Amino acid sequence: MNLLHKIIKPKNKEDKEFYKNLKSILNFKPIKLNYYKKAFTHRSLKQIDSKGKPINYERLEFLGDAMLGSVIASFLYKEAPKGNEGYLTKMRSKIVSRKNLNQVGKDLNLIKFVKSNVSKENVGDNIHGNIFEALVGAIYLDRGFKYCHKFIYEQIIIPYVNLEKLEGKITSYKGLIIEWCQKQKKKYSFETYEDTGNQSKKHFSVKIVINGKQIAKGRDTSKKRAEEMAAKRVYYALQSEIENS
């Protein structure tokens, strides 16, 4: 392993700087830098390898997602011995939610490594979680499951996972409102429309109507976030009724 490390030790200034910064995040020495470079390459660069295959983080993101799910599932199985399958699945979803992974990616400032033809202001929040997953995938290919497991524990489980707090955490207000309406046999609708207004960037507005009455509205640059915003406002408007039903 030491010989391999010497063979591929970074030589140019850019690689040396990348290696140094990466090592401080990983808390171990990366061996094959190409995996990590790929983990931070956006598809907008349209890079391909010698065989014509695309070079970007998307396949690594898929692999990292699977590794995260595996390590978190193992952790929950051990730490929540009384939890049934539904409980374990729900808790895993909360831990690896897009919001949580985006926050981890932001806290690690992974965006500074990303190479893209799209400005960092226009890539959207999800890139933070996407590249975190890609990084996990790169670790697995470079150093194997042991190091991958260690990294996930250090960067997610230890700093972010508190099972008692997570049990009461709402990961989707839209899902909660829909489930509540269905259980209470209430008619509901999410009415969405484009609402650009005076802004150049496209926006969406959503109003939620329950039993013929408009309860709340939300507006954002994506339909999904606008729906979630409106649903969150519905939850707080009807919180006592929802929690006591």
Catalytic status, residue 167:
no
Q: Which residues pair with 217 in a beta bridge?
A: 207
Write out the H or E segment, with its range, that includes residue 206. Answer: strand 204-210
State the DSSP string of 198-229: T-SS--EEEEEEETTEEEEEEEESSHHHHHHH
Q: Which of 14, 58, 79, 133 does the annotation list as catalytic?
A: 133
Nearest to 156 by CA among 211, 229, 107, 212: 107
Residue 103 tokens read as 């926050």
Nearest to 206 by CA among 221, 190, 222: 190
Q: Which of 15, 17, 58, 65 does the annotation list as catalytic?
A: 65
Nearest to 26 by CA among 183, 124, 146, 167: 146
Q: Can you tell me whether residue 169 is helix, strand or coil?
A: coil
Catalytic residue positions, numbered:
65, 133
